[in-house]
């Protein structure tokens, strides 16, 4: 896996910008590569995390059903409650309305969860005792890339794609020597051909809120 500085050097080579004075500053190109990393994560949901405490550990309060998710979370893939270690099943509002009338006022040990509201997780039944939940998520990169010879992007195995997106962004810089809309579009098209399109707002909402396989038996946590 290439470091940030190695990717920067490769991007300069791709842009034919290896001789000073540079057409693009280092910080500009590093940010462009970082945007590529974010695009890979957002399009593929490849960064799966069950270990980062600030994102994956949730304190459950008595009588509180809904909780705000960390801003980096793209999708909740699984939840288990510490006191039971039993994975919760993802539900939809329509499913609960049909099977459990009045479900929103029932108290007990949580058995399921909903993620239909953006950035929010709702447990069902409403917790009747304090507990701790462990969450498995797909997320965005935790940190922005920096000028470091030891730091690498979190997404692994996508160096070529990060360079494509970096070049796409670079050629949008409005300067006589750097702006080239045709080249920018080409690199964006190449990136999309490798990674896939950016989900629409509707598709992203569906990914987050709809159970991945409602007809199948629930998977074990972490699978």
Do 15 and 65 share a structural domain?
Answer: no
Q: How confident is the model at residue 74 (pLDDT cuts 50, 70, 90)?
A: very high
The Cα–Cα gap between 189 and 10 comes to: 20
Q: Half-sphere exposure of 4 toward its Cβ, with a 13 Å CA cutoff? A: 23
Q: How confident is the model at residue 215 (pLDDT cuts 50, 70, 90)?
A: very low
Span 6-12, average pLDDT: 97
Q: What is the pTM of this model?
A: 0.88
Do 128 and 158 share a structural domain?
Answer: no
pLDDT of 213 > 70? The answer is no
- What are the angstrom distances between the C-alpha of 23 and each of 47, 166, 169, 170, 185? 33, 14, 13, 9, 19
What is the pLDDT at residue 216? 38
What is the pLDDT at residue 84? 85
| Count of structural domains, the chain | 2
What is the pLDDT at residue 212? 62
What is the pLDDT at residue 217? 39
**Structural domain harbouring 77:** 48-139
Q: Which of 165, 218, 184 is nearest to 43 (CA)?
A: 165
Which tens digits make up the pLDDT trace of 132-176? 999 999 999 999 999 988 899 999 999 999 999 999 999 999 998
Domain assignment present for residue 219? The answer is no
pLDDT of 25 > 90? The answer is yes
Domain assignment present for residue 223? The answer is no
Do 131 and 84 share a structural domain?
Answer: yes
The percentage of the chain sitting over the pLDDT mark of 70, rounded to a whole number, equals 95
Do 82 and 8 share a structural domain?
Answer: no
Name the domain boundary from 111, 139, 167. Answer: 139
Which tens digits make up the pLDDT trace of 96-136? 999 999 999 999 999 999 998 889 999 999 999 999 999 99
Bridge-based pairing state of the strands 73-81 and 126-127: unpaired
Q: How confident is the model at residue 221 (pLDDT cuts 50, 70, 90)?
A: very low
Domain assignment present for residue 215? The answer is no
The Cα–Cα gap between 104 and 2 comes to: 49
Whole-number average pLDDT of the chain: 92
Query: How many residues are given for the chain?
Result: 223
Do 152 and 134 share a structural domain?
Answer: no
């Amino acid at each position: 896996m290439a470091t940030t500085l190695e990717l920067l050097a490769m991007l300069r080579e791709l842009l034919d910008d290896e001789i000073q004075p540079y057409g693009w500053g280092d910080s500009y190109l590093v940010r462009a590569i970082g945007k590529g990393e974010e695009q890979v994560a957002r399009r593929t949901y490849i960064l799966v995390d069950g270990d980062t405490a600030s994102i994956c550990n949730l304190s459950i309060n008595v009588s509180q059903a809904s909780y705000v998710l960390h801003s980096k979370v793209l999708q909740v893939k699984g939840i288990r409650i510490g006191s039971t270690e039993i994975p919760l099943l993802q539900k939809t509002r329509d499913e609960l309305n049909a099977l459990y009338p009045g479900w929103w006022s029932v108290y007990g040990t949580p058995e399921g969860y909903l993620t239909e509201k953006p950035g929010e997780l709702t447990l069902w039944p409403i917790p009747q005792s304090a507990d701790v939940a462990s969450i498995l998520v797909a997320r965005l990169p935790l940190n922005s890339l920096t000028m470091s010879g030891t730091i690498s992007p979190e997404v692994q195995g996508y160096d070529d794609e990060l360079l494509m997106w970096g070049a796409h962004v670079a050629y949008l810089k409005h300067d006589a020597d750097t702006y080239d809309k045709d080249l920018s579009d080409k690199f964006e098209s190449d990136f999309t051909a490798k990674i896939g399109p950016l989900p629409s707002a509707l598709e992203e909402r569906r990914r987050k809120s709809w159970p991945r396989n409602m007809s199948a038996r629930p998977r074990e946590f972490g699978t």
